[in-house]
């Protein structure tokens, strides 16, 4: 059936039986490809029947579906002209793992972070009204994204505007980790029968079309509220001025099509509650949806990874093991995550200390301010969030933490380029947006062993907020030493790894090893190169840097972060303030969004691979060295 689709609207002619066959084909195609390429599996498998049903009921050439994040949309890609390129998902110049306005006219709003779909679709709906256009707007949001505050701001505004908008709540009882919070439990308790919903729909239609006398209309409204209160233990969505319909079996295409047709032409805000199973149709993903949220290549029969295991130990595991020791040794320490406790290494610690590991849901801003409040009472909070997601809490970091100089520890996972997830998930802005905030200190370890020492330092540091970022991937250099035997890293101090008289390379994090490789290449040309592992982006080791710079003719900085405002900018500011004028080459990500590709390809595009940096420095050094070669003995 999938091969019979030339354009998305072909699906509208399919029978229910054909739609079921089409859903099976989509699920098979997703499994075949993602088992080879890797990608977001469990969410996309769970939404197959919903997507097929949407394509049956709505005109995808005209109507606009806005998806939250895009984890769930692989079947949507297959039905909207991308089946023949699906093997290229996550590859350079291929398809995005999420939705992208640059990729397809069917992708009406791109996103890689949660909770944006209702806001965006309301904007599209209001623009439709202002422009006098005629199309349907549908937002599909996962229940996990409903823990994000932006979703409720959008619900509130939608109800106030009374705009025609259909919101589909895809309820699979999970975001990436299992959902948390009282509101999540309330949403999951909402239930009602199909007949009840059909009666309500008819009542709503009669009232809105003024076919009932005013007194009867008001009475029916009160009856509706009473029924909702009885059947759902509350009228949460109804109080936002949404008309609620559900629950609907998200894998029963006949029911889905019936309900979508039912709500399609009802005016005003509508919320359709659809219940799906994450990983549907692939048993390993059904049993372990968190593990199969985002996967590498795997055996399609067993679910076991097929990609050769990387050497070393993952940075996330190293962090988790080190933090577990701290939690055991200090009862004042707590860990805070935003719907990512498993992916950030906190879940296994929570098994032993459930009262000290907090998952706040997709609410990064709340996580930060919550940590600030705890710190005022002598608790030592570690806020553990992917670098890209911490961006959403910027004002909370500024206003609630740094302004009050509270000792909150920020642990940023996935710092730097992250490969196939692309621009929405790169952690290449953190050094810049954190460095600009007064009172913030920033550490970047060169490897796993140094990271363990920095975690220990963060635990001991109580003079204000401090952040440490580490990359995705593995480190072969790590230690199983206890806290007491870890080497000490003095606050704000870097280290000299090699001395040189011609060029000085200042590097942080994963770029330290690259700097050493570049130095070796340049030494082959007879260039004397020094390398410093700065360790701290803020404060910089002023004495070490100025002393080393004084004896060389060319200075370069290396960071896996945007050049603007980052580590290199800090070094330049230090040199300028000190009246030091030297030729300077800042290596960092350019002022652009670098798309999905492998990490190595992204590093090369950014000019941060060893050959590119070596060539740039050779080119810059040549005119500096030329006068020395042309000197004539007198």
**Tokens coding 523:** 């030494």
Q: What is the DSSP string of 97-129?
A: SSB-TTT-TT--S-BSSSS-HHHHHHHHHHHHH
Catalytic position from the list 364, 514, 559, 601:
364
Q: Find the helix or strand (DSSP H, E) in which 284 lies.
A: helix 283-287
User: What's residue 508's pLDDT?
Assistant: 98
Catalytic position from the list 136, 356, 392, 409:
392
**Tokens coding 94:** 């291929």
**CA dihedral defined by 467, 472, 474, 478, rounded to 10 degrees?**
0
Residues near 14 by Cβ (< 8 Å), separated by ≥ 6?
Answer: 1, 22, 56
Helices (H) and strands (E) in the chain, counts: 24, 19
Euclidean distance between CA atoms 569 and 595, whole angstroms? 24
In terms of phi and psi (left: phi > 0; alpha: psi -120 to 50; beta: otherwise), the region of 384 is beta
Residue with tokens 């195609």: 29
Domains with residue ranges and CATH for the chain: 2-190+233-286 (3.40.50.970), 313-485 (3.40.50.970), 495-621 (3.40.50.920)
For 424, half-sphere exposure in the C-beta direction (CA atoms, 13 angstrom radius) is 16
Q: Find the helix or strand (DSSP H, E) in which 413 lies.
A: strand 409-413
Q: Find the helix or strand (DSSP H, E) in which 141 lies.
A: strand 137-142
Tell me which DSSP letter residue 488 carries. P
Catalytic position from the list 278, 280, 356, 435:
278
| Residue 492 to residues 448, 545, 596, Cα–Cα distance (Å) | 19, 12, 35
Euclidean distance between CA atoms 88 and 52, whole angstroms? 22
Euclidean distance between CA atoms 309 and 318, whole angstroms? 16
Integer Rg of the chain from CA: 28
Euclidean distance between CA atoms 45 and 541, whole angstroms? 51
Q: What is the pTM assigned to this prediction?
A: 0.86
Longest pairwise C-alpha distance within the chain: 110
Q: Which of 541, 518, 546 is nearest to 531 (CA)?
A: 518
Q: Is 571 helix (H, G, I), strand (E, B) or coil?
A: helix
For 205, half-sphere exposure in the C-beta direction (CA atoms, 13 angstrom radius) is 11
* Measured CA angle at 422 (ends 455, 48), to 5 deg: 110
601 given a catalytic annotation: no
Per residue in 437-471, pLDDT (tens digit) is 999 999 999 999 999 999 999 999 999 999 999 99
User: What's residue 390's pLDDT?
Assistant: 97
Residues near 348 by Cβ (< 8 Å), separated by ≥ 6?
Answer: 320, 324
Q: Which of 327, 412, 323 is nearest to 364 (CA)?
A: 412
* Measured CA angle at 608 (ends 607, 609), to 5 deg: 100
Q: Is the dihedral of CA 74, 76, 79, 85 positive or negative?
A: negative
392 given a catalytic annotation: yes
Residues near 208 by Cβ (< 8 Å), separated by ≥ 6?
Answer: 266, 267, 268
488 given a catalytic annotation: no
Chain centroid to Cα 474, Å, comes to 20
Q: Which of 474, 512, 477, 514 is nearest to 603 (CA)?
A: 514
Beta bridge partners of 335: 357, 382
Classify strands 441-443 and 466-469 as parallel, antiparallel or unpaired: parallel
User: What's residue 221's pLDDT?
Assistant: 62
Per residue in 210-265, pLDDT (tens digit) is 666 766 666 666 655 555 544 453 367 888 889 988 789 999 999 999 999 999 99
Which stretches in the chain have pLDDT values below 50? 175-193, 229-231, 233-234, 629, 632-634
Euclidean distance between CA atoms 587 and 582, whole angstroms? 16
| 491 and 541 Cβ atoms separated by less than 8 Å | no
């Amino acid at each position: 059936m999938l091969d019979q689709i030339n354009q998305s609207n072909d699906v509208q002619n399919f029978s229910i039986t054909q739609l079921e066959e089409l859903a099976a084909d989509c699920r098979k195609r997703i499994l075949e490809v993602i088992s080879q390429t890797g990608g977001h599996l469990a969410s996309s498998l769970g939404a197959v029947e919903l997507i097929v049903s949407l394509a049956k009921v709505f005109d995808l050439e005209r109507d606009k579906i806005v998806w939250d994040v895009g984890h769930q949309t692989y079947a949507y890609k297959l039905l909207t002209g991308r089946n023949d390129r699906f093997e290229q998902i996550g590859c350079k110049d291929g398809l995005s793992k999420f939705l992208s306005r640059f990729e397809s006219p069917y992708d009406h709003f791109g996103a890689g972070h949660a909770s944006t779909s209702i806001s965006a679709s309301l904007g599209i709906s209001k623009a439709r009204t202002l422009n006098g256009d005629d199309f349907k707007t549908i937002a599909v949001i996962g229940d996990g994204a409903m823990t994000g505050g932006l979703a409720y701001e959008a619900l509130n505004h939608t109800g106030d505007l009374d705009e025609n908008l259909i919101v589909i709540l895809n309820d699979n009882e999970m975001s990436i980790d299992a959902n948390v919070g009282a509101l999540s439990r309330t949403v999951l308790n909402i239930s009602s029968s199909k007949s009840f919903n059909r009666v309500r729909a008819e009542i709503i239609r009669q009232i809105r079309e003024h076919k009932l006398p005013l007194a009867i209309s008001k009475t029916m409204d009160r009856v509706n509220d009473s029924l909702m209160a009885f059947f759902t233990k509350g009228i949460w969505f109804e109080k936002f001025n949404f008309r609620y319909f559900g629950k609907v079996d998200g894998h029963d295409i006949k029911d889905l099509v019936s309900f979508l047709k039912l709500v399609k032409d009802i005016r005003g805000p509508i919320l359709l509650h659809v219940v799906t199973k994450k990983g549907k149709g692939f048993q390993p993903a059904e049993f372990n949806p968190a593990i199969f949220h985002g996967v590498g290549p795997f055996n399609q029969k067993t679910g076991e990874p097929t990609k050769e295991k990387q050497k070393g130990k993952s940075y996330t595991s190293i962090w988790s093991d080190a933090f577990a020791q701290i939690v055991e040794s200090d009862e004042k320490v707590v860990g805070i995550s935003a719907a990512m406790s498993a992916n950030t290494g906190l879940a296994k610690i929570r098994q032993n200390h459930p009262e000290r590991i907090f998952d706040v849901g997709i609410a990064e801003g709340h996580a930060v301010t919550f940590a600030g409040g705890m710190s005022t009472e002598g608790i030592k909070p570690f806020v553990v969030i992917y670098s890209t997601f911490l961006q959403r809490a910027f004002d909370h970091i500024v206003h609630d933490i740094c302004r009050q100089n509270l000792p909150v520890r920020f642990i940023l996972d996935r710092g730097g380029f992250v490969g196939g997830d692309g621009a929405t998930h790169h952690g290449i802005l953190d050094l810049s947006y954190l460095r600009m905030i007064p009172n913030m200190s920033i550490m970047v370890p060169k490897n796993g062993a140094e990271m363990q020492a920095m975690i220990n330092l963060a635990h001991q540091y109580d003079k204000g907020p401090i952040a440490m970022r580490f990359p995705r991937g593995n480190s072969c250099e790590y230690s199983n030493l206890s806290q007491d035997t870890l080497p000490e890293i003095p606050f704000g101090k870097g280290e000299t790894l090699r001395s040189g008289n011609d060029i000085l390379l200042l590097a942080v994090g994963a770029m330290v090893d690259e700097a050493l490789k570049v130095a070796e290449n340049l030494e082959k040309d007879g260039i004397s190169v020094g390398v410093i592992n700065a360790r701290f982006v803020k404060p910089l080791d002023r004495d070490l840097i100025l002393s080393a710079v004084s004896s060389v003719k060319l200075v370069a900085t290396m960071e896996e972060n945007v050049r603007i405002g980052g580590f290199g900018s800090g070094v330049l500011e230090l040199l300028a303030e000190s009246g030091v004028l030297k030729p300077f080459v800042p290596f960092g990500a350019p002022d652009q969004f670098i798309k999905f590709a492998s990490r190595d390809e992204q590093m090369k595009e950014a000019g941060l691979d060893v050959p590119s940096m070596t060539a740039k420095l050779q080119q810059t050094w040549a005119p500096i060295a030329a006068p020395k070669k042309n000197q004539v003995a007198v």
